[in-house]
Structure formats: C-alpha cells, structure tokens
Amino acid sequence: MRSVAEFYQDCLSAVAQQPPLDVQLADAVSCVLAEDVEAPFDLPVADLAARDGYAVRSEDLAGARPDNELSLRVTEEIRAGDVNPAALVPGTAIRIASGAPMPAGADSVIALEFTDHGMAQVNVRTQPAVGENIRRKAEDVEEGEIVLRKGTRVGARQVALLAGVGRSRVYVHPRPRVVILSIGDEIVEPGEKARPGTVFDANGHALSTAIADAGAQTFRVAAVPDERHVLSETIEDQLVRADLILTTGGISHGSGDTVREVLSTLGTVRFDNIAAWPGHILGVGTVGGDDNGEGGTPIFCLPGDPVSAQVCFEVFVRPALRHMQGWTQLTRPSVKATVDRSWYSPRGRREFVRVRLVGDPKTGYQAKVMGAPASLLLSALAESNALAIVPESTTNVRTGDMLQCLVLE
C-alpha cells in the first residue's frame, strides 16, 4: 500500500511542465508566464497630464481661492499624442488634455473643475501644488525593469501591463489538453431516459468543470464501454490531442473492469492500493511511449464513483495539472477548523471528509460534516466547500476536534 504522500509524488513525477510556447496576448490569458518580461521603454515615456485642465506654473496662481479668482492668458492647447509641445511662458496657461505631454516650464495641472473653462483666458479659483496632476516619466516602469516575472499567471491586469509596454506576444506554459474517458457499459448521458442498470455520466461533466477551473482545456469523450477492443482503440485515438488522459471507472478487480488489462499493452501504468479514503485504488503512468514509458502521454486512472473521483482529482490530479502549467503553488489553501460531530475513521488511511466551513480568521472556523463520512453522497459533496483531512493515525474523531481542511471554494 502506498501512502497519500507517495502517490502524490508519483502523480507529479508522471507529468512535466508544458514546453514554453510563444503566443498572442489573447491566447496567454489564464496561462503562466515562461519568461521574465522586461520593459523596452519608460512608462510613461514623458511627463504627462493626469487630468484635463491647464498646464501652469504653481507660483503664478499664488493666492487663488474661490473668493479671489486669478486670471491667466491661454496661449496654446496640447492634445494627447502631440509631440514637441510649445513651452509655457511665465504668467500664462496652456489648455491640456489628460495624457498629453507636459510643456516645458509648467510644474502642475489645474483641473477643469477649479476654472471657468476659458479658451482665451481662464479664471482659476485655487492654487495647485507643484507636481499636482502630473504623471512623471517612468513613474510606472523604467526601461529595462522586469515588469512581470516568470511564473506569473496572465489575467486582465497583466494583459494591460503587457500591452502597455508594447508586447503583443509572450512565452507561456500553454494550457494542458486533458481528455476525459468515463468507462463502463452502464454509463449513459444525462438527458437520456433512465433505465434499470444505467448510471448517468456525472464524472465526465464534473471533471470537465474541475479541469477547466484548474486552467486546462477539456476534451470529454462519450462514455466508453468495458469492451477491450473499443477501449483500446479509443485511448489510442485520443493520444494525438492529449497532454494528459484521465479515466474514471473500470479499475477494480471485477471481471468487467478492463482498464488494467488494456493499459498493460498500451504503456506503463502502475495501479496501487492507496492509504486514502475515498479512492483507495488508483493508477498513474504513461501510454503510447516506449517500453520504459518514455515519450508517452501521462494517464491518471480514477475510481468510477463520482464522489471518489472528485476527491481524488482535488488531492492528486489538480496539483499535477498546476505543475504542468508552471505554477509553484500546487495545492489549494487550507485552514484548521473544529468539527461538529464524532465519527470513526478507517485505520491506516488518510480520510477526506466532505464539510462546509463557516467562520473567519479572527473568530476561527467550524466544519459542518455533510452527510455520513463513510457514505459517498453526491448531495453532501454538492453542499461542501472543503475537505476535512483525518490523519492515518486517527481512528476516532470527536466533536470539537480540530482538523486541517482543504478549501475548495
């Protein structure tokens, strides 16, 4: 029997970071940078007006206030995008647009709301401070500065910065392509008529959602029967587009569970009894490579039970997916919480119990167990927002005990 920690490392070892790929900004969203991004120029490239108003010398407006307006002659108008603006003559003002370059001689911008909006002459009712409403050259970033570091996830804010420094393409670890295979003669698509002996494909749909949430691309294949030839052909057909294959079901020791036999001819996959509950039998390895598994596509084999499959995905597969994408923080955050009931935990196994966390960092967290811990209930899973972790050495959990909880939401 392998420990949870050992199998966790097996899963990480089975996958590698996606090779860096040069992509357009739109395709970089949700990916992790595979390069340090250096600013090719100052941002802003010059001193710019931060507000619509008038470029002035602060000293020319000394004493200006609502009951003592001062007037300045307006000599020019500068728009955003203008180059080589005229210099400011002492005792005058230049009308200026937000984002326009500051004229030489000006040390502040008086905002429009403190003026009468005059065109040839402007009346001003306050004195601006030196530097007021000016964005200084290189105030944002300096030429040569690392503005985004390798390992940063690209989102809207990062795209704004990348575009702002002129980058249209970046190197990222691309989103892995994950193929999901739900295996079993009994599986049918939701929406079909329920019949005795059939089970709706909860795993395919749930894992597709979980994989997308983890940042990867999902390709869900229609339910595959236990027939060996069909299963073998399906797996081989998917190798061309898969960076990772995820199967559910068909890994027990029953005569109808054919995954082990099929995979034994397609690659190098190891099935182990794991010291965990739920999900005590799991498989990891590669398919489609050489006899040593080199050059193959990673494959993870999860249980067919939907609750077991979801729990095992969170514990073992999601961290591996994040590793493939270049993340350094692989696991979800965790907090300690007191449980609201007692129960027996399987001896020698690390148990993951579906709970709903309430509370806050200041007052502490409480974990309400959803359903009986030993029962794998979809309704309880749907109401949960965390997994309480019971150590292998603990058999009797008591009300009020404090457990580490993996936060799912």
Q: pLDDT-derived band of residue 301, with 50, 70 and 90 as boundaries?
A: very high
Model pLDDT for residues 366-383, shown as the tens digit of each residue: 999 999 999 999 999 999
CA atoms within 13 A on the CB side of 395: 3
Q: pLDDT-derived band of residue 222, with 50, 70 and 90 as boundaries?
A: confident
Q: How many angstroms separate the CA atoms of 150 and 143, rounded?
A: 18
pLDDT value of residue 360: 93
Q: How many angstroms separate the CA atoms of 208 and 343, rounded?
A: 32
Q: pLDDT-derived band of residue 226, with 50, 70 and 90 as boundaries?
A: confident
Q: How many angstroms separate the CA atoms of 403 and 392, rounded?
A: 12
What sign for the dihedral angle of Cα 304, 306, 308, 312? positive
Return the DSSP state at 326.
Answer: T
Domain architecture of the chain: domains with CATH: 2-17+174-323 (3.40.980.10), 22-41+139-171 (3.90.105.10), 46-133 (2.170.190.11), 332-405 (2.40.340.10)
In this predicted structure, the answer to whether residue 357 has a pLDDT above a threshold of 80 is yes
Q: Any idea how long the chain is?
A: 409
pLDDT value of residue 292: 67
The residue-averaged pLDDT of 297-320 equals 97
Model pLDDT for residues 38-76, shown as the tens digit of each residue: 999 999 999 999 999 999 999 999 999 999 999 999 999
The residue-averaged pLDDT of 287-299 equals 81
In this prediction the pTM is 0.85
pLDDT value of residue 256: 59
Cβ pair 115, 69 in contact under 8 A = no
Which range has the worst mean pLDDT, 103-117, 201-215, 259-273, 337-351? 259-273
In which residue are the tokens 């099929």 written? Answer: 262
pLDDT value of residue 293: 59
pLDDT value of residue 195: 83
- Tell me the average pLDDT of the chain: 94
DSSP 123-138: EE-SPPPTTTTEE-TT
Q: How many angstroms separate the CA atoms of 396 and 406, rounded?
A: 20
pLDDT value of residue 290: 73
In this predicted structure, the answer to whether residue 225 has a pLDDT above a threshold of 60 is yes
pLDDT value of residue 254: 64
Nearest to 226 by CA among 192, 195, 186: 186
In terms of C-beta density within 10 A (0-12 exposed, 13-18 middle, 19 or more buried), how is residue 274 classed? buried
Model pLDDT for residues 181-200, shown as the tens digit of each residue: 999 888 988 988 878 878 89
pLDDT value of residue 384: 97
pLDDT value of residue 408: 96
Cβ pair 282, 240 in contact under 8 A = no
**In the chain, % of residues over pLDDT 70:** 98
Q: To 5 degrees, how large is the angle CA 231–CA 237–CA 243?
A: 105
Segment (H or E) for 389: strand 386-390
Main-chain phi, psi angles of 173, to 5 degrees: -85, 110
Q: pLDDT-derived band of residue 250, with 50, 70 and 90 as boundaries?
A: confident
Model pLDDT for residues 68-118, shown as the tens digit of each residue: 999 999 999 999 999 889 999 999 999 999 999 999 999 999 999 999 999
